[in-house]
Amino acid sequence: MAHAPHPPQSPGSLDNAAFVEHLLRHVLTARAIEERCILNVRQGIQPKFFSAWGNEAASVATAAALRPDDVLVPMHRSLGAHLVRGHAPYDIFLQGFLKDAGHTRGRDTGLHMGRPGTNIIGMISPLGSMNVVAGGIAWAERYLQRDGVTMAYIGDGGTSLGIFHEAMNFIGVHRLPVVTVIENNQWAYGTPNHLQFACETLADRGRAYGMLGVRVDGTDLPSVYEAAREAVKRAARGDGPTLIESVTMRMRGHAEHDNQRYVPKAMLEEWGAKDPVERFVAWVKQSGKLPDLDVAALREKIAADILEAVDKAREQAAPPVASGLVGVFAHDADDPAERPRNGSTAAAAPDGDTVARLAHAAAAEIHDPDTAAEIPEVGSEITYLEGIRSCLRHRMRNDPRAILLGEDIGIMGGAFRITEGMLAEFGSQRVVDTPIAEGAIIGATIGLAIRGLRPVAEMQFSDFVASCFNELVNNAGTFRYRIGTGVPMVLRLPSGGGVGAGPFHSLNPEAWFAHAPGLKIVVPSSVEDAYGLLAAAMDDPDPVLFLEQKYLYRRLKGAMPARDHVTPIGKARVVREGNDATIVTWGIGVERCTQAVQESGVDVEIIDLRSIVPWDKETIAASVRKTSRLAVMHEARLTCGFGAEIAAWAAEDLFEWLDAPVKRLASADVPMPSHKELEKAVSPQVSDIRKALGDLLSF
C-alpha cells in the first residue's frame, strides 16, 4: 500500500537498480500528490496547498542523501523529502485535510509535520526560523557524540532574511554538521531573483559564511543527489557545513490562489521543457538501470494508491472542538492527546549511560579543575546574583544535559559576570560564546532542547529580546501545541530599571510574552527564589523566560538555600500578611511595596506573584476575600501591563468581595529615561505606593 509507513533508507548508489527505483517511485509519487492536491483545492475538499511543481527531483535527491539517523528540517515545499524520510501519502492527506488522526490534529496545516521515526522537525511558516534551529540540532548531535548530519531547506527569497544570515554565520563559525539546501525557484512569491540579491549566485555566499558553496541544476536529480551525498559525507566526517544552491523553477504560483501572471510566459516554457520528473524518467530509461520496469504501469499504480489514500483520509474524523483549547503546556490534564505524536520530532532524552559518557567527556575538556569555584555553603549570606550563579553551577555539575549559550558568557562571564569561570570549568561545548545574533541564540537553544538537552540562553539585556521575538513567540511557544514536542529551554533576561541604564537596557517584557501561548514567565524577587525558580525553570518541560532583576543583582542579600531547593512555578508567595488591603507585585516591586507598607503602618497583605505565566489566582483570591481591597504594582508600563490582566480578572471573578475599585500602579507609557531622577519620575516609587494605598484604604 502506498500509505503504509516506510522508514528512511540509507543512501545508495545510482549504479544500484533498486536504489534508482526507490528514487523514481518517490519522484513520481511527489508529482502525483501534487496533481491530486491541486484538484482537491479546486474541488473545495482541501483548504490550501503550496505547490512544489518543478522542485520534486531536488527535494527527493537531497533527502535521499541522508542516513536514517540524520535529521531533516524541511520547508513548506519539501514534499519529496517528506516522502523519502518516511511520510506516506496517507500522512500527507490527513494533514492536508486537518484531520484529528493527522500529526498536528488540525492545529497546523501543510507540511508542518513529522511522524515518529522520520527524524523530521516540524517547521513553522516564518522563513529562516528553522535554519537557526538546525544549528542547535547539529550542536546537540555533536555534543551527544553522534555523527548525525542535519539538512535544512530555504527558498531563494528566504535567504534575504536576517535570521537566515544569523543561522549561516552561527553554523559556519562553529563548523557544525549542517547541509543547507537553497531551493532557488527564481521567484520569491512574485519577486524575481534580481530584486532579492545582488550576488551572482547564492552558492557564492558559502565562502563568506566559511563553508563550501555548491551550485547544481535542480532539474537534474542525479547531479543533485551526488552533490548532496558528498555534502553529507563531508559533514559526517567533521569537515564542516555545505551550502547547496539547487537552481530550478517553481512552475505554479505561490499557492493555488496565485495565477503566476508575473512570470514571463517564455520563462515558464523554457523551464517546462526541463521538467525534473520527466527528465529523471528519461535518465532511467537511457541508463538501462531498470530495463523491465513499466513506467506507465507504475504511474497508474501510484495514482490508484494515492486516490485510495485520499478517500481513506477524508473518512477520518475532524478534531474534537474541545481539543483546540488544550495542549499548550506539558501535563495538561484536559488534553486527550498525550498520545504517540508527543516527542515525535525530538530525540529521546539521553539515558544513564549517555549521561555518564557526556559527563566524562565534559570533564576531559576542563582546562584546570583547580580553578572551579566553590558553591557557597548552605545558609551563608549571598547576593541575588550569586543565587543565580550558584544554581547554574550546581546544575551544570550535576546534569551534563545542561548547556549555556549567549554573547560573551564564556570568555567574559557575561555582561554581569554571572557565568564567570564556567568556561574553564565546563568547557566550550557546554558554555557557548555565540556571535552577536539573538535570533541564532534562541533558534539554537530550541534545537538543543528538542534533541533532549537542557539549554539555558542569556540575553545581555532583556530589551534585546525584541530582536528574536519570532523565535520565541512563533517557534518555541508553539511547538508543543502544534506537534506535541516539548522545548525544555530557559531564557535568562536581565530586566528592569532602577540603575539609570536608559531606554534600551531597562525593559520589563513580561506582558509581551504573557500574551503569547506556550511560554512560561517567572520573576524572582528574593535570593531564595533567584536560586529556586531557576532550578524549577531548568527542570520544566516547556520554555521558561527567567526575568532577573538587575537592580537586585548585588543589592539584595539572603541565605544560600539547600542545593536541591526548587521554587514551584505558578505559586505566589505571601510576603506579609494583612487584613485591610491586598497588594500584588513582583520583581523590584516587592522591596518597594514592603518599604511603603512599613513606612505607612497600614495592615496590608503583600503578595509576590513570582510567576506571571502560569499565575496564582487562588492565593490572590483568598487574600482579597479577607481584605476586600486590591492593588497591583509593577515596574513595567501601565497600558496593557500584566497588572491590567489581574485587575480585569478580579473585576470579573471577585466583584462581590471588592469594596473598592482595583488600583493599578505602574510606570508611565514612555521609554525608560537614562537620567536617574527622570527614571524615578516615570516609575512607581515608595512614595507613590504609600499614596495609592492611602487612596485605596480611604475609598
Active-site positions read 505
Cα angle 433, 436, 437 (rounded to 5 degrees) comes to: 105
How many alpha carbons fall within 13 Å on the CB side of residue 10?
Answer: 4
Q: How far apart are the first and last CA of the chain?
A: 75
How distant, in Å, are the alpha carbons of 85, 86, 312, 341, 486 from that of 5?
Answer: 10, 6, 15, 15, 24
644 three-state secondary structure: helix
Kind of pairing, strands 381-383 and 557-559? antiparallel
Q: Encode 400-411: b = buried (16+ Cβ within 10 Å), e = exposed.
A: bbbbbbbbbbbe
Q: Encode 367-394: b = buried (16+ Cβ within 10 Å), e = exposed.
A: eeeeeeeebbeeeeebbbbbbbbbbbbb
Best CA proximity match to 636, nearest among 496, 517, 519, 535: 496
Is 298 exposed, middle or buried (CB count within 10 Å of its CB: 0-12, 13-18, 19+)? middle
632 three-state secondary structure: strand
397 three-state secondary structure: helix
**What is the C-alpha to C-alpha distance for residues 112 and 124, in angstroms, rounded to an integer?**
7
Cα angle 681, 684, 686 (rounded to 5 degrees) comes to: 105
391: Cβ contacts below 8 Å, ≥ 6 apart: 530, 531, 532, 534, 535, 538
Best CA proximity match to 343, nearest among 468, 484, 170, 165: 484
Judge if the upstream peptide bond of residue 116 is cis by omega within 30 degrees of 0: no
Best CA proximity match to 455, nearest among 443, 446, 464: 446
**What is the C-alpha to C-alpha distance for residues 579 and 594, in angstroms, rounded to an integer?**
15
DSSP H or E run through 79: helix 79-85
Q: Where are the alpha helices (H) located in 347-470, listed in sequence order?
A: 352-365, 384-398, 422-426, 438-450, 469-470
**What is the C-alpha to C-alpha distance for residues 221 and 212, in angstroms, rounded to an integer?**
20
Q: 357 near 400, Cβ under 8 Å?
A: no
Best CA proximity match to 335, nearest among 191, 486, 197: 486
Tell me, letter by letter, the H, E, C secondary structure of 49-66: CCCCCCCHHHHHHHHHCC
Q: What is the DSSP string of 271-283?
A: HHTT-HHHHHHHH
Q: Where are the alpha helices (H) located in 159-251, listed in sequence order?
A: 162-173, 205-208, 221-236
DSSP state of 120: B
Q: Cα-flanking dihedrals φ and ψ of residue 293, to 5°?
A: -80, 130
